[in-house]
A = this chain, B = another copy of it.
Amino acid sequence: MYQSFLKSIKKVGNFSQEQLDQITDRIEVRTLKRNDFLLKEGTTSQSLYFLNSGSLRHYKDIDGYSELTINLFIEGDWVLDHHSFVGQRPSENNIQAFEDSTVLELPMHVLHDLIAKSPSFFMLGKILENAEPTKEESIKSPEDKYRTLMENSPQIIQRFPLKHIASYLGMTPETLSRVRSKIKD
């Protein structure tokens, strides 16, 4: 269960075996059915998550009828709503299971406890790093945005329907469809 999780933790910094045990002792496993919510608009995020299996979609509801996809997650990703978790504010966004999923939950208070125990756990803060696309990314052309995604996260393209990828990339489904057919040549 924890291999992938530990591998990811080790990338963040050098932890002793004892420290790794201290972390795994304190995390909770949560299972989600497709369409279950990991975070709902209006609630304040209390945990960060490691997505062990399945896939999740992070999105914002616009006027209650259209949706803006903020992020698409697959197994191996760290999942959080940065604004709500770090700022401890009610979230404006939702995180929802796109497939049946299991996540490993690391509550904020556990993070506090660990750091209190040993400041070297401070390294875990690196996980909070924002995976949100940069400003540079946002000014690229649709084709360049898609090429970057193919480069960096080819799995995303396999796993999610076109409409969500299009929204994530900030373009219409029609435009993404045309980009794809153009690139195939």
Contacts and interface: CB of A to CB of B under 8 A. Distances in A.
Given A112-B122, A138-B170, A87 B129 contact: yes
A147 interface: no
Interface string A101-137: 0000000000010011001001001101110111110
Nearest to A129: B86
Contacts of A122: 112, 115
A82 interface: yes
Interface string A61-93: 000000010100000000000110011100000
A45 to B, nearest CB: 13
A57 interface: no
Interface string A3-45: 0000000000000000000000000000000000000000000
B68 A136 contact: yes
Interface of A is mostly: helix
A1 interface: no
Contact of A136 (B60, B119, B133): B60
Nearest to A117: B119
Contact of A115 (B83, B115, B132): B115
A132 B138 CA distance: 12
25 contacts: A68-B135, A68-B136, A68-B139, A82-B129, A82-B130, A83-B134, A86-B125, A86-B126, A87-B129, A88-B126, A112-B119, A112-B122, A115-B115, A115-B119, A115-B122, A116-B119, A125-B128, A130-B130, A130-B132, A132-B135, A133-B135, A135-B138, A135-B170, A138-B170, A139-B170
